[in-house]
Amino acid sequence: MTNGMKTPEDKPQLSHISPQGEARMVDVADKPVTVREATASALVTMRGAVLDALLAGTLPKGDALATARVAAILGAKRTSDLIPMCHPLPIDGIQVEFARVDPERISVRCTVRATARTGVEMEALTGAAIAALTIYDMAKAADRGIVIGPIQLERKSGGRRGPYVRASQ
């Protein structure tokens, strides 16, 4: 099993493709169980007055951040139902944070932790994305021009390849 490693010929192998070229879920049975953690972020841009109302919890649909937090948790937990080749994971914890980064932008950060054989990057990315989409849904009546993005992995730890931290931009 290659799990994305290079073959003796030094050619990268796609771990989600069988030797016959068929899509498959990677077998992780031989990987060690380790503590894995990942943080992803999503940026949501909207008019400043709408962001003020979002942060105050006074949007017409109610407390959008409370709803977005629950949506992020549900999204992270259901990642394997949404993304075909993701393994269902025993998630140990999920943390969701919101921070205003300037007068028109809010950042969503979703951190997921699991003790498992495979990483939680997709769960963190899904959580951040679902939170951002929920903010959009709850604020769209006040601002139809809301923009989501980028959505990106910020850091990860655990596993064979070791830690990853996004370089500052």
Catalytic residues, which ones?
137
Identify residue 93 by its one-letter amino acid code: G
Place of tokens 């989409």: 133
Q: Residue 33 contacts by C-beta under 8 Å, 6 or more apart in sequence?
A: 115, 116, 117
- Classify each residue of 27-47 as buried b or exposed e, where b means 16 or more C-beta atoms within 10 Å of its C-beta: ebeeeeeeebbbbbbbbbbbe
Q: Residue 65 contacts by C-beta under 8 Å, 6 or more apart in sequence?
A: 54, 55, 57, 98, 135
Closest among 94, 123, 106 to 51, alpha carbons compared? 106
